[in-house]
Structure 1
Amino acid sequence: MDIDAWVWWLIGAVGLGIPLVLTAMPEFGMFAVGALAASGTAALGVHVTGQVLVFAVVSVALIAVVRPIANRHRSQRPQFASGVDALRGRTATVLERVDAHGGRIKLAGEVWSARTLDEESVFEAGRQVDVVEIDGATAVVI
């Protein structure tokens, strides 16, 4: 039994897809797409030289185009903050008098212990304050 060339290219594409899944290296995926393109070319009856050329051109083109885009996206910081980073800059309501030694605020629907950033500031209940940072489980406010 003689196996057609397009089947070999398809097997090669699957073989290149396995390391993509195991290592999360996108280059393997680009080579797998090149092998799929070569498989299609073989199914159309193109000579082996043309198949290898299609594989090489598609693989190199994907690496040249997709890789810089992926690297650019990977190096960008996320546009959203989460956890305590999301609480910085938020406004809170003073529940119990807040001074340099402590107090209570309502921040993002939760009650937090709080203290002022400087020694002189004092905020009475009902006042709106801004969260400067989170120090452990204490919000530092101004």
Structure 2
Amino acid sequence: MDWLGDNQWAAWLALAAALGVAEMFSLDLILIMLAVGAMAGMLTGLLGGALILQVLVAAGASVAMLALVRPNIVKRLHSGPDLRLGHGKLVGQRGVVTERITSLEPGRIRLAGEIWSAAPYDEELTIAPGETVEVFEIRGATAYVHPVPTLES
């Protein structure tokens, strides 16, 4: 028993290893945070801290990891880039009018390197060639657009 009193760090290391292995089966990122706390307790033991100090440091580090680190990691793991495919990825992009656009006569725009038929999103508008437009919606093969406001010099 005297060996354990002199080598408390080894018990902390064993606990950290066991928690690390258990985390591989649970994959909920709780046990690994507790393992980091156990490693902090091990470091305190290696530096000669009393057992009560080791326990307090391990508990504090575990709570800090669970409260501060785990939520950010979980958020990053569960979020990903927005995957927009097909025509949906063109909504919100800007294009340039190549043929006049009116509500009665659809025109053409250059959008993402391609020529699209286009109609005004607001039926009262007429959009001249050369104007920059933003795609609000795509129905079939027609982009419904609205002119991008510009600052007049």
Supply the AA of the counterpart residue of 1:112.
Answer: W
Q: Is the 8 A contact 1:97 1:104 kept in 2?
A: yes
TM-score by length of 1: 0.62
Hey, what's the Cα distance between the residues in 2 that align with 1:5 and 1:28? 20
2:123 aligned counterpart, secondary structure: coil
- Corresponding position of 1:113: 117
Do the aligned partners of residues 60 and 133 (structure 1) sit closer, same or farther apart at CA in structure 2, a change above 3 Å counting?
same
Do the aligned partners of residues 22 and 68 (structure 1) sit closer, same or farther apart at CA in structure 2, a change above 3 Å counting?
closer
1:87-140 C-alpha deviation (Å, 9 max, x unpaired): 52x54212234334643211243333322113343435x331421513255422
Larger Rg: 2
Q: Is the 8 A contact 1:131 1:139 kept in 2?
A: no
Unaligned runs of 5+ in 2: 147-153
Hey, what's the Cα distance between the residues in 2 that align with 1:23 and 1:102? 55
- Corresponding position of 2:138: 135
Matched residue count: 131
C-alpha RMSD of matched pairs (Å): 3.9
Query: Once the 2 structures are TM-superposed, how far is the Cα of residue 68 of structure 1 from its aligned partner?
Result: 9.5
- Corresponding position of 2:52: 49
The counterpart of 1:70, out of the listed 57, 69, 72, is 72
Query: Once the 2 structures are TM-superposed, how far is the Cα of residue 60 of structure 1 from its aligned partner?
Result: 2.2
Do the aligned partners of residues 59 and 46 (structure 1) sit closer, same or farther apart at CA in structure 2, a change above 3 Å counting?
same
Supply the AA of the counterpart residue of 1:50.
Answer: L
2:125 aligned counterpart, secondary structure: coil
- Corresponding position of 1:32: 35
1:99 aligned counterpart, secondary structure: coil
Hey, what's the Cα distance between the residues in 1 that align with 2:9 and 2:57? 13
Hey, what's the Cα distance between the residues in 2 that align with 1:107 and 1:16? 54
Query: Once the 2 structures are TM-superposed, how far is the Cα of residue 35 of structure 1 from its aligned partner?
Result: 0.8
Unaligned runs of 5+ in 1: none
Q: Is the 8 A contact 1:129 1:141 kept in 2?
A: no
- Corresponding position of 1:103: 107
TM-score by length of 2: 0.58
